[in-house]
Structure 1
Amino acid sequence: MGSQSRSSEALQEAVQKMKAGEFGEIYHARALCFKARNTIGKTPVEPVPPGVDYDMWTGPAPLRPFTKNRFHYNWHWFWDTGNGDLGNQGIHEVDIAYWGSGWKHPTKVTAAGGKYMFDDDQETPNTILASLEFVVDGKPKLMTFDTRHWYNNHEGGIGGERAGNTIGNIFYGSKGYLVIDGYNKYYSFMDRDGKPGPTKNTRDSHFENFIAAVRSRKREDLTAEIEQGAWSCVLMHLANVSYRVGRTLHWDEKTWTVKGDAEANKLLTRPYRAPYIVPAKV
């Protein structure tokens, strides 16, 4: 789970300002992942490389014949082992959207997209747009995840220094909007005329935070507590499930299930291949 941005001093400040109401009511949180990813092509079945325990590497997933595309890095693009770019790079931005907004339980999730341009081994979509609807204190809120491949424009100034790489977030409020560019920088624009607002660019201290929490043994010292990461992953998985079944999901926050949709609920977990079985209760 890509939650190291929670240790960024700049992003911590950005979230604090949103929660303090400096941008008014936040009503739309966007997560952007645009990367100029090329085709992975097609690779043949071949012997497992010497020194690789392919059974252990595969773990609970089905043991498929070995191909280079199913191995290092490109495993992201197969449903057996990965979640596409939404669960690869995108989870970093999904987590920031969840953290920054403070919204926890979506009521509806809809996703559409596909694998465009390329005829290759990839199973997951290279382009996907997900919409998650929330109700917070009786008010509707919207969170969107936008993942694209190949050639793309930058949005909100995000990625202007990184050709072909737009990763970040935009939060829209009633008094202005805030842009997070990458992992350690934010800037903002206020009022209807878009005058420049607060900005900051700094490093993160994720490793330092982890070591400090190990030493203190205090859960509250963690900037990226594990339950928060689990919720961010829930949002990402629901978006992928909506894409795979091709319809809107209605989420039940109390039972952690999709209402009235057996096919979608089946995709919330997986059959585990022995002996790599996760017990129902840990």
Structure 2
Amino acid sequence: MSNQMDRGDFIKITGAASLGLYTLGAPAILKGQSQNSKITVAVIGTNNRGNAHASGFARHPNAEVTYICDVDEEAIKKGLNSVKEGGQENEPEGLIDFRNALDDPDLDAVALAMPIHWHTPAAILALKAGKHVYIEKPCSHTPEEGKLLVEAADKYNRIVQMGNQRRSWPYVMEAMALLKDDIIGRPYFARCWYANRRQSIGFGKPAPVPSNLDYELWQGPSTRKEYKDNLIHYNWWWHWHWGAGEILNNGVHYLDMARWGLGVDYPAKVTSTGGRYHWKDDQETPDTLVTTYEFPNDITVAWEGRSCNPRGIEGSSVGISFHGENGTLVIGSGNEYVVYDNDNNVIERAESGSADPTDTSGPGFDLDRDHHDHFIKCIQNGQRSRTAIADANISVHNCHLGNIAYQTGRAIHCDPHDGNIIGDNEAMNYWTKEYEPGWKPTV
């Protein structure tokens, strides 16, 4: 395929069909919902990633942000400012407790960007209230939570779309279609990587809870621990009690793309080695991790995470490379790809800079926009999301398996049909977790 081909038409033709994600039943359209009316959205968690959702949905012509929810009053202010920056004239209502927003019968959807120990419990509460859910990765804190979320999406018949926005990036979609069209022959190996220069989180000290923070609600479903001064708002990621490390923070994006491009689901075997090598501090999750997934039909995927060494691969700090019989396809950090033959000649390339500047929905613009737009259209039209939770959870589940292999210190054997661990009672101790009494999520 030449770069001179109309890429917009190519994506329209290949985008849905090549992914094979529209074959299941679609959730019902909201009662009385027309394709022209605005979808009302509550954005929950606006200290960091949620602000992109606040401005993104505020900017969308068919959406309106009606609630900004966060346990931190300062984060609510950030969210309200993001909505204003998105160009929305009506100011949303700010709420500490998102559950109050779920009581509003006129609320259509929620965008969840809370810490991951809240992802599944909050999403299930929203589904029970009849809301559609846009949920940031990784969607669950344990394999059991992921399965509960899939069950809830099916039971309550609502759209649940994960924030793996690369599934909606035009050139990434194009790259996957090229893989399906055998541009590198049969692909049999994918390498995913992440390299950064994260600093030490130090050693936290018990401290009074800031007056602007509802720490009790922040903990929510998790069993209670004392507040420390180096935990919130980001370092919880590196504690097993609340977080899950880099593989579920950034790795999930690229391991999801590996599944997508290779056409695989669950592995038969997972190995994972690494540790906290660079800094000596409170961090429990590894800063260096190499995880290998062996799939049926002679397919392997490798994840290399280096949180404290920024040297990239293929000229990019994050990315994925697919290796096949006739060449290699590389996708870096952005909406781009390059294809090499086995003589290292470039045979195909696309990047955001080559976008048509007159196309405001194209790859040269806001790369959250396409994913937000797809979510809104799925609600309006009742079609199945290209990143529906039933499929997205497989990628998340595989990341959990990587952590379990690391925590047990040995290979994990799985049923490639459903991802269940085979014959390892110790590994199954990580399948679920203990919840604060009264907080365990149920479908």
Alignment TM-score > 0.5, same fold: yes
Partner of 2:380: 215
Q: Deviations over 1:11-55 (max 9, x none)?
A: 000000001111101110111111111111112110111132212
* Conserved 8 A contact 1:133-1:142: yes
Matches within 5 A, 1:91-170: 91-136=252-297, 140-158=298-316, 166-170=317-321
Matches within 5 A, 1:1-282: 1=137, 2-136=163-297, 140-158=298-316, 166-190=317-341, 192-202=342-352, 203=363, 204=367, 205-219=370-384, 222-254=385-417, 256-279=419-442, 282=443
Q: Which amino acid in the other structure matches residue 182 of structure 1?
A: S
Query: Structure 1 stretches (4+) deviating beyond 4 angstroms?
Result: none
Q: Deviations over 1:195-243 (max 9, x none)?
A: 1021212333111111111111111xx2311112100101100000000
Greater radius of gyration (CA): 2
* Conserved 8 A contact 1:257-1:265: no
Give unpaired runs (5+ residues) of structure 2: 1-136, 138-162, 353-362
Q: CA deviation at 1:176?
A: 0.6
Q: CA deviation at 1:154?
A: 2.1
Distance in 2 (CA, whole Å) between partners of 1:199 and 1:124 is 37
* Conserved 8 A contact 2:267-2:419: no
Q: CA deviation at 1:4?
A: 0.5
Q: Provide TM-score, normalisation by structure 1.
A: 0.91
| Deviates further, 142-151 or 240-249 | 142-151
* Conserved 8 A contact 1:167-1:182: yes
CA 1:38 to 1:133, structure 2 compared with 1: closer, same or farther past 3 Å?
same
* Conserved 8 A contact 2:278-2:287: no
Q: CA deviation at 1:131?
A: 0.4
| Deviates further, 37-46 or 145-154 | 145-154
Give unpaired runs (5+ residues) of structure 1: 159-165
Q: Provide TM-score, normalisation by structure 2.
A: 0.59
* Conserved 8 A contact 1:10-1:184: yes
* Conserved 8 A contact 2:266-2:419: no
Distance in 2 (CA, whole Å) between partners of 1:96 and 1:244 is 24
Q: Which amino acid in the other structure matches residue 47 of structure 1?
A: P
Q: Which has the higher helix share?
A: 2
Q: Which has the higher strand share?
A: 1
Distance in 2 (CA, whole Å) between partners of 1:24 and 1:272 is 48
Q: CA deviation at 1:183?
A: 3.6
Distance in 2 (CA, whole Å) between partners of 1:276 and 1:200 is 47
* Conserved 8 A contact 1:69-1:121: no
Percent identity, aligned pairs only? 33
CA 1:216 to 1:37, structure 2 compared with 1: closer, same or farther past 3 Å?
same
* Conserved 8 A contact 2:167-2:387: yes
Distance in 1 (CA, whole Å) between partners of 2:211 and 2:204 is 18
Q: Which has the higher contact order (CA 8 A, sep 6+)?
A: 1
Count the aligned residue pairs: 267
